[in-house]
Amino acid sequence: MSEPKDESAAPNFVRDIIADDLQSGKHQQIVTRFPPEPNGYLHIGHAKAICVDFGLAKEFGGRCNLRFDDTNPVKEETEFVESIKEDIKWLGFEWNEVHFTSDYFEQLYAWAEDLISAGKAYVDSQSPEEMKANRGDFGTPGTNSPHRNRSVEENLDLFRRMKGGEFDNGAHVLRAKIDMASPNMNLRDPSLYRILKAHHHRTGDTWCIYPTYDFAHGQSDAIEHITHSLCTLEFEAHRPLYEWFMDNLEVPATPRQIEFARLNFTYTVMSKRKLRQLVEEGHVGGWDDPRMPTLSGMRRRGFSPAALRNLCERVGVSKRNSFIDISLLEHAVRDDLNEHSPRYMGVMKPLEVVLENFPEGHTEWFEAPQFPGREDGGGIRRIPLTKTVLVEQDDFLEVPVKKWRRLAPGMEVRLRYAALITCKEVVKNGAGEVVRLICTWDPEAKGGNPADGRKVKGTLHWVSAEHGIPASVQNYDRLFTVESPGSGDTNFLEQINPDSLETLEGARVEPALAEAAAGTRIQFERLGYYCFDQDSKPGALRINRTITLRDTWAKAGKPG
RNA sequence: AGGGGCGUCGACAAGUGGCUUAAGUCGCCAGGUUUUGAUCCUGGUAUUCGCAGGUUCGAAUCCUGCCGCCCCUGCCA
């Protein structure tokens, strides 16, 4: 039944509530739902909601439905339904049933008439401006609408004519008759139905009146017998209204709404508006740009679903508004990728190294483990060593700094898994730039193990110049330079990190990667985790850097 | 101004009157191992729980007052 929760699982007050409800017998089985509005792409914030909604249901042997909250036909919808489903599946969750709030329009309408018949709802014909003015203020009670006391018959007639399409948008609205003086603004006769002569992505032109979120959500939960309706903090003030409907309508079940804090990260933006602006103004390549916090962007970047799930678990669920340090995300990603990414070598900015005593035209093959840490190495791949190899430009310094353990004149280093080489000569071009290193290799140290047991501290990644395969590499970094973009009166667009994307066209990778499929996640040793882009193909490799390895050397502030 | 919610280490977050002179995770610092300056391992990192009083033998946990932050006046969700 319920899986034992991971010891590393962070606390989660919702989990405690559910456990209590199950133990007390209030529920035999729990049912939750994930209710996205199909009007945009899912982002990392939604990932938390998905993990909570689906994860808790799974943990307790319950069920979780996917429900598209499509009560507003004005906001283009159908195109997002598939991407949302895809993202949820990618994250690793399955829904029990898929529903659309629009499937319940008939029932919702019937309930609206019930409310009218019971004298608990009325058709208001004030203009939006009048309604706003009469709603009062936080400090002052609202004023009853002049239409508040229309008869049941008149209300029914008006409401049916609204449904029949007799009126223009905005001419009338159905409101609940609750309390215009309530300190909770949501209870000052909230709108239940509005006239919207728009084409709906599923119901087409069947309706011209649509229920509001408040009138639709809880009742939809009830129809699906949801036991725990989990949502974010901003709906807290709506809970009394949610419950008012449960109390005043003949609903088949009475779900409980529980609110928790949404997920926020430093160094990124999460609002739909800002994300859209980034895309529409071309600051990024699209919704799935690897720098975007959208699930499609993160997927393309190479983040694994398990990493995201682990992150959500570690972050916990509480009611505190908080900004999670992005390093927590980065850690979760490295943690999972370290465990699951096979190792390869690739040189980003090549520097030629000629092994002067290596036989001309000869190729020496070595076997290297895919997972060096594992006992059996997790499989192997073969890598060729030739007279000319490529190493990273950053791994050579003509004048080494202290503690330098890479290449420098006279220094011996290891070419990982293959050889020990010593730098003998530095060749420069007319501009004084280093273009080539002349080195010798130790034929007695094949594989990198010296016959005399001498210690060679530095180990470099490398690629055979003859076998190395060209690749276009995209290095991604944080999209913003400040912790909370757009805070205060700053413009978040001016805080975009100008170096969030670096494209390297001269990279060369080891031949074992020639046929790598799009979506493949690997580690380039000593550099970081990478993912073959969705557009990558043999002959035109395109590789996205997901995240660098931790680099305490760079952090120590080494020069150059 | 009214209502709702929240304030524990740099960031998350346990703890709900004594076993807490406050878990864990990330980060950071210091060591060790290492053919990735990665991983891994070890140790350090809040005498203090928004502030001020009070109750109590005893409080982060109870009471009172204050301060701070977030949400609510869509025919958005």
Tell me the pLDDT tens digit for each residue of A496-516: 999 999 999 999 999 999 999
> Does the CB of A514 fall within 7 Å of any strand B atom?
no
A55 and A85 both lie in a single domain? yes
Average pLDDT over residues A64-86: 93
pLDDT of residue A559: 53
Q: How many independent structural domains does chain A possess?
A: 3
Burial-class residue A1 by CB neighbours within 10 Å (0-12, 13-18, 19+): exposed
Q: Which of A124, A484, A80 is nearest to A271 (CA)?
A: A484
Assign residue A61 the CATH number of its domain. Answer: 3.40.50.620
Assign residue A169 the CATH number of its domain. Answer: 3.90.800.10
Least confident of A52-56, A440-444, A553-557: A553-557
Domain end residue (candidates: A396, A429, A464): A464
A220 and A132 both lie in a single domain? no
Q: Where are the alpha helices (DSSP H) in A139-224?
A: 152-164, 213-223
Q: Which helix (H) or strand (E) holds A306?
A: helix A305-315
Query: How confident is the prediction for chain A on average, in pLDDT?
Result: 95
A153 and A299 both lie in a single domain? no
Whether residue A485 lies inside any domain: the answer is no
A445 and A314 both lie in a single domain? no
Strand B footprint nucleotides (protein C-beta < 7 Å): 1-8, 10-15, 23-29, 35-40, 69-77
A250 and A265 both lie in a single domain? yes
A204 and A312 both lie in a single domain? no
Burial-class residue A250 by CB neighbours within 10 Å (0-12, 13-18, 19+): exposed
A172 and A194 both lie in a single domain? yes
Whether residue A189 lies inside any domain: the answer is yes
Q: Which of A364, A347, A468 is nearest to A419 (CA)?
A: A364
Whether residue A380 lies inside any domain: the answer is yes
Q: Which helix (H) or strand (E) holds A105?
A: helix A105-117
Contact present, A94 and A137 (Cβ < 8 Å): no
pLDDT of residue A77: 78
Assign residue A401 the CATH number of its domain. Answer: 2.40.240.10
Residue whose token pair is 């006391």: A149
Q: Print the domain residue range for A66.
A: 13-103+216-331
SS3 track for A208-253: CEEECHHHHHHHHHHHCCCCEEEEEHHHHHHHHHHHHHHHHCCCCC
Give catalytic residue positions of A.
37, 262, 272
> Does the CB of A548 fall within 7 Å of any strand B atom?
no
> Does the CB of A553 fall within 7 Å of any strand B atom?
yes
DSSP state of A69: -
A77 and A157 both lie in a single domain? no
Whether residue A282 lies inside any domain: the answer is yes
Domain end residue (candidates: A445, A464, A483): A464
Q: Which residues contact A553 (CB under 8 A, 6 or more apart)?
A: none
Nucleotide nearest to A449 (CA to C1'): B35
Residue whose CA is minimally distant from B6 C1': A320
* pLDDT single digits (tens) A172-219: 999 999 999 999 999 999 999 999 999 999 999 999 999 999 999 999
Whether residue A519 lies inside any domain: the answer is no
Instruction: Report helix, strand and coil shares of chain A as percent, to nearest 5.
Output: 30, 25, 45
A281 and A354 both lie in a single domain? no
> How far apart are alpha carbons A198 and A189 in whole angstroms?
25
- Quick one: tokens of A47? 């990932």
Q: How confident is the model at residue A560 (pLDDT cuts 50, 70, 90)?
A: very low
A325 and A220 both lie in a single domain? yes
Whether residue A253 lies inside any domain: the answer is yes
Whether residue A353 lies inside any domain: the answer is yes
**Complex ipTM > 0.90:** yes
Whether residue A490 lies inside any domain: the answer is no
Return the amino acid letter for A410: G
- Res. A238: pLDDT tops 90: yes
A146 and A22 both lie in a single domain? no
A295 and A397 both lie in a single domain? no
Domain end residue (candidates: A433, A464, A495): A464
Radius of gyration of the CA atoms of chain A, in A: 31
Q: What is the model's pTM?
A: 0.94
Q: How far is the CA of A241 from the C1' of B54 (A)?
A: 39
